Amino acid sequence: MSFSPLTSRLIEALTCLPGVGPKSAQRMALHLLDRDRNGGEKLAQTLQLAMDNIGRCQRCRNFSESEVCQTCTQTSRDASLLCVVETPADVIALDQSGGFRGYYFLLLGHLSPIDGIGPEEIGAPLLDQRLAEGEVKEMVIATGTTVEGEATAHYLSEMARRHGVVASRIAHGVPMGGDLEYVDSNTLSLALKGRKRLE
Amino acid sequence: MSFSPLTSRLIEALTCLPGVGPKSAQRMALHLLDRDRNGGEKLAQTLQLAMDNIGRCQRCRNFSESEVCQTCTQTSRDASLLCVVETPADVIALDQSGGFRGYYFLLLGHLSPIDGIGPEEIGAPLLDQRLAEGEVKEMVIATGTTVEGEATAHYLSEMARRHGVVASRIAHGVPMGGDLEYVDSNTLSLALKGRKRLE
Ligand SMILES: [Zn+2]
Ligand SMILES: [Zn+2]
């Protein structure tokens, strides 16, 4: 005996979610079927819409259903400051810290030659083009504090130097080896204030 | 700054899943958008299908996309044995234990007057009708070992008595206050063998 074929397919499909194994997926499926059909319907429709319509902002590479994202179209930001981060979650964390009011650029990862992730994969050509526009005066490098994050920061600071742009690195308070998105706003704000110019 | 409107809607929709708060939902949404569009598409479609097509088996009340579920149509089972459980997960757990080869009936909960859950809500009329058919000789009551589960077991044993059906209760090994679905197969098998007739 097992669940009905469609229930089994639903349980299987739910395991595509990170951190969801067969047991959690079973609990989720039964919960939706038993107690939250409306939630399930809404999730199905929103998921379909999101998968079909969310692409990348042509300017910062963040997820966006429009060609240029909302952040990149905000004119209230300081165009002389560009903060380079690894993930969309980093953008949220930094912006919520209140310590940065410029624009962002997303690498969507970091350099990792072993995994075949080179400059192309982290959007280096687009960033190069952005710096060539001449508006950016300082590039705040907020990549992770892992070995790869540091190597990526070095690579980016070299690119900034070629364009005569000041490169800085967020510093104080970010724990080594930690993910930005789990750092509290206060610490992130301090880290931004304490950023150091890279020579 | 925040995620794009559609990304935010996706994160919000994901929190309908049990055990998923805003942080996990964010991680899930970014994972699907970034690394598993196919998984996301498939989940959206399966979820929609499941919400639209899965109802209740007219015979046992388990989730089923057909009027009568697969288990209820299996003729290899012993029709003289009916096991009454609270949830679909309990059916899976008991069947996998190999200790039971009869049919099932699902209460989808237990009696709980405070929450307005009476005999109607746990499908008592349908169960009454099933016992009246005369095929069932023994009703194995496998409700939970909580206070409500025990009260429900008592109510069911009275119903069985009215129909001249033997009522038994799974016994040995099921930890008090525990959920059946987290009990291992061996323990469940023993509990079924050690079931006691209720007087
Ligand atoms: Zn953008
Ligand atoms: Zn059935």
Task: State pLDDT tens for residues B128-164.
Answer: 999 999 999 999 998 887 788 889 999 999 999 999 9
Nearest chain A Cα to B48, which residue? A44
SS3 content of chain B, % helix, strand, coil (to 5): 50, 15, 40
A47-88 confidence digits (pLDDT tens)? 999 999 999 999 999 999 999 999 999 999 999 999 999 988
| B92 and B36 within one domain | no
- What per-residue confidence (pLDDT) applies to B97? 75
Q: Which pLDDT score is estimated for A6? A: 96
Average pLDDT score over residue span B66-85:
94
Chain B residue closest in CA terms to A87 = B30
The bridge status of strand B55-56 relative to strand B63-64 is: antiparallel
Can you give the pLDDT at residue A92?
85
Using the mean position of ligand 2's atoms as its centre, give its distance from the Cα of residue B69 in Å. 4
Same domain membership, residue A28 and residue A95: no
3-state class (DSSP) for residue A83? strand
- Would you say residue B10 has pLDDT above 90? yes
**Do A97 and A163 fall within a single domain?**
yes
d(CA A82, CA A70): 16
Per-residue confidence at B191, pLDDT binned at 50, 70, 90? low
Number of structural domains (chain A) is: 2
Q: Does residue B73 belong to any structural domain of this protein?
A: no
Q: In angstroms, what is the C-alpha Rg of chain A? A: 20
Is there a domain that residue B30 lies in? yes
State how far the Cα of A25 lies from the Cα of A27, in Å rounded to an integer.
Answer: 5
The pLDDT value given to residue A9: 97
CA distance B162 to chain A (A): 30
Regarding whether A94 and A49 lie in a shared domain, the answer is no
What is the C-alpha to C-alpha distance for residues A16 and B43, in angstroms, rounded to an integer?
8
Least confident piece of the model among A138-147, A154-163, B69-78, B172-181:
B172-181
Residue B11 has pLDDT above 80, yes or no: yes
Same domain (yes/no): A90, A159 = yes
Does residue B194 sit within a domain?
A: no
Q: How far is the CA of A105 from the centre of ligand 1 (A)?
A: 8
What is the DSSP pairing of strand A63-64 with strand A55-56? antiparallel
Question: How distant is the alpha carbon of residue A55 from its chain centre?
Answer: 13
Cα separation of B82 and B48, whole Å?
Answer: 33
Same domain, A93 and A131: yes
pLDDT of residue A177: 61
Which residues on chain A are in Cβ contact (under 8 Å) with B26?
89, 92
Residue A112, beta-bridge partner list: A117
Percentage with pLDDT > 70 across chain B: 87
Report the C-alpha gap between A192 and A171 in whole angstroms.
7
- B195 in a structural domain: no
- Is B23 within a domain? yes
Residue B173 has pLDDT above 60, yes or no: no
Nearest to A60 by CA among A26, A107, A18, A97: A107
For A18, the closest of B16, B27, B50 (CB atoms) is B27
* pLDDT tier at B92, thresholds 50, 70, 90: confident
- Which pLDDT does position B149 carry in this prediction? 87
Q: Is residue A162 part of a domain?
A: yes
List of long-range contacts for B32-39, beta carbons under 8 Å, 24+ apart: B32/A16, B32/A17, B32/A47, B32/A50, B32/A51, B33/A50, B33/A51, B33/A54, B33/A63, B33/B7, B34/A63, B34/A108, B36/A16, B37/A51, B39/A13, B39/A16
Q: Ligand 2 centroid to A71 CA: how many Å?
A: 53
| Ligand 2 centroid, distance to B118 Cα (angstroms) | 22
A89 and A41 part of one domain? no
Residues A49 and A105 reside in one and the same domain: no
| CATH number of the domain enclosing A14 | 1.10.8.420
Q: Given A5, A40, A51, which is nearest B51 (Cβ)?
A: A40
CB contact under 8 A, B91 and A29: no
CA-nearest residue of chain A to B37? A51
Which residues span the domain enclosing B29? 5-53
Q: Judge if A40 and A96 occupy the same domain.
A: no
Q: Are residues B87 and B165 located together in one domain of the fold?
A: yes
pLDDT at A187: 67
- Counting residues of chain B whose pLDDT is more than 90, the rounded percentage is 66
Angle between helices A37-53 and B22-35 (to 10 degrees): 40
Whether the complex's predicted ipTM is more than 0.90 is answered with: no
User: Which among B129, B17, B130 has a CA at the least distance from the CA of A15?
Assistant: B17
Query: What torsion do the CA atoms of A167, A61, A68, B12 make, to the nearest 10 degrees?
Result: -120
Q: Looking at the domain assignment, is residue A45 inside a domain?
A: yes
H/E element holding A10? helix A5-14
How far apart are alpha carbons A109 and A99 in whole angstroms?
Answer: 22
CATH number of the domain residue A157 falls in: 3.40.1360.10
Q: What is the pLDDT of residue B190?
A: 61
Position B156 in a domain: yes
- Where chain A has pLDDT below 70, the residues are 1, 171-180, 182-184, 186-187, 190-191, 193-199
Together in a domain, B112 and B160: yes
Q: What is residue B146's predicted lDDT score, i.e. its pLDDT? A: 79
- Shortest distance, CA B179 to any CA of chain A (angstroms): 13
Instruction: Using a cut of 0.90, tell me whether the model's pTM lies above it.
Output: no
How far is B193 from B142, CA to CA, in rounded Å?
12
Within 10 angstroms of residue A48's Cβ, the number of other Cβ atoms is 17
Examine the domain organization and report whether B119 and B162 are in the same domain. yes
